[in-house]
A and B are shown apart, each in its own frame.
Chain A
Amino acid sequence: MSTLFLPAADLSPPGTGQRDMRRLIARHRIWDRLFGLLGVLALLFALLVFALLFGQMLVNGLPQLSWDFLTSFPSRRAASAGILSAWVGTVLVMLVTALVAVPLGVGAGIYLEEYAPKNLLTDIIEINVTNLAGVPSIIYGLLALGLFVYQFGLGHSIAAAGLTLALLILPVVIVATREAIRTIPQQIREGAYACGASKWQVVAHHVVPYSLPGIMTGVIIGLARAIGETAPIITIGALTFIAFLPPSPFGQPGQLLSFEWLAAPFTVMPIQMFNWISRPEAAFQANAAAAGLVLVAMTLSMNAIAIWIRYYFRQKIKW
């Protein structure tokens, strides 16, 4: 490497110097090419890991993946076990998470961008959001165990899990909302004020609708992260063997909606997968691979939707 950083100018006599200079430049160009190659290799390595990760799960899990796998309960016999209770649990937990995290996160983002005065409290909130984003997810699990499960008496329920994951993705939603709002030009707000709009009307009729693509992207990425979170759910003591479904949200006949399911014990996709990974039998590990495929398909398709929304609207909106 030492020749790489020699100063390009040297003190050779004219004539020979030009040739030396050419050689020196050629030599430096080789290093350039080599680094370019190294970069491509690093990218290919990442691609290889991804291919192996996927390939391994496909080879092991695909034979197990069938309609029955999606519509059966977990079982002591690997061949007839399925993920019905797991994916239903995931959907219900995500419903709670979204219903809590979206209003809170978007509200907080709007407050920080549009309302917050420059004072100590605002600084505290901002620093706090940044720090919360760096708190390991298992710590949220401990918070939930102490607070939701025991203090609030929610037990090992869908409500407790949903609330935990909502707090976990709150920083993601807040940051996405703020970034989306920040891209809206000031003239939009001034125009609305000039027409006599109140502050809230400016926010609700202009700022929020225009920043919706960015907010949606953030929400989807947050939920995709929540779907795969395992550690906090394990910590609140979620059971791993659940061979029944929570009560239906649509309740008994004659009842419009029922909220019994909120208090029901549950399992979710990553917990079911963890449960199968920890079994020594190869047949259960094949089930784990199949569950992993479904899980990865869920998160990656959500991420893809988020990337698409961002890409599509970035092209469409020109202020």
Chain B
Amino acid sequence: MKLRRHIAERGIEGLLLLAALVSVFTTLAIVAILVWESVVFFRSVALLDFLTDTQWTPLFDDAHFGIVALLSGTLTTTTVALLVAIPLGTVLAIYLSEFAPFRVREVAKPFLEMLGGVPTIVYGYFALLFVTPLLQRIHPDLPGFNMLSAGLVMGVMIVPYVSSLSEDAMRAVPMNMREASYAMGATRLQTAVLVVTPAAFSGLASSYILGIARAVGETMVVAIAAGMQPSFTFNPAEPAATITAYIVQVALGDLPHGSIGYQTIFAAGLTLLLITLLFNIAGHVLRRRFREAY
């Protein structure tokens, strides 16, 4: 009886461990699949061409495989998004953490959470059919697909994410630091900008970096509003495909399993994974540092 209970307990523990290991298997499988298909890809395309060619036309007769043409799109849309998300997210975080009355915060936080919960495809629809026409009214030459509108909407989409992580960091700053600052005769804004923000700096930085990672990996907004035509340009007023948009474009077509076109999306995916992984690790290292500080 005692032995049976012991065996059952052990068995349950084993099952729970297996459940926890599924996440490790997922990571291993992601890396394995991406590397496996990319290795096949790099057998027919030189790594040097992949990194230096400025054209990405894998499905043309004159095939070029320059990832730079996709990276430029990713970089441009991400930059536009950050120019919106970082200032807006930071102001919101400072306001909600240091200025807002309790009532405002109680309403604003779930509202921002909701804004973050809207499906990205809906933001894509908004970018293409509302923001782009609006921008065209100001600047009539703007093409129907452009990185500007995609980037702006993506920025708004990331704001709740940046603001909630930043706010967490600022709230983790101990109260006695603020009190000391007030005792010196500082005002709220002086305390917020000169005391709380520097103290929460690594937390703020991590929220920006995690925001970058999200912008880089975002797919539907750019695929819908920025167009799917790869082009090496940093001009936000032009259409261009990002890495993610290219993967969508290929997946929409009917590429045979095992063809070079099929392998390109895995090589592009591996590049994307490496970039986001880099930002995510940097973000988490910074985050851990601010947590340990107090």
Contact = CB atoms under 8 A, between A and B. Distances in A.
Interface in B142-162: 156, 159-160
Given A56-B126, A199-B9, A107 B15 contact: yes
Contacts of B257: 150
B-side interface mostly: helix
Given A125-B23, A132-B27, A134-B280, A234 B194 contact: no
Contacts of B186: 8
Given A108-B19, A110-B16, A300-B118, A45 B273 contact: no
Nearest to A28: B187
A224 B248 contact: no
A137 B219 contact: yes
A274 B224 contact: yes
Nearest to A47: B111
A53 B20 CA distance: 39
A-side interface mostly: helix
Contacts of B113: 303, 307
Interface string B19-30: 111111011011
Interface in A193-252: 198-200, 221, 224-225, 227-231, 234-237
Interface residues of B, number: 91
A43 B21 CA distance: 41
Interface stretch (B49-57, B92-100, B196-204, B230-238): B92-100
Contact of A228 (B5, B121, B272): B121
B280 A299 contact: no
Given A32-B187, A42-B91, A132-B27, A125 B219 contact: no
A286 B248 CA distance: 23
Interface of A: 4-5, 8-9, 25, 28-29, 31-32, 35-36, 38-40, 42-43, 45-47, 49-50, 52-53, 56-57, 60, 103-108, 110-112, 115-116, 124-125, 128-132, 134-143, 145-147, 150, 167, 170-171, 174, 198-200, 221, 224-225, 227-231, 234-237, 270, 273-274, 277-278, 285, 288-289, 292, 295-296, 299-300, 303-304, 307
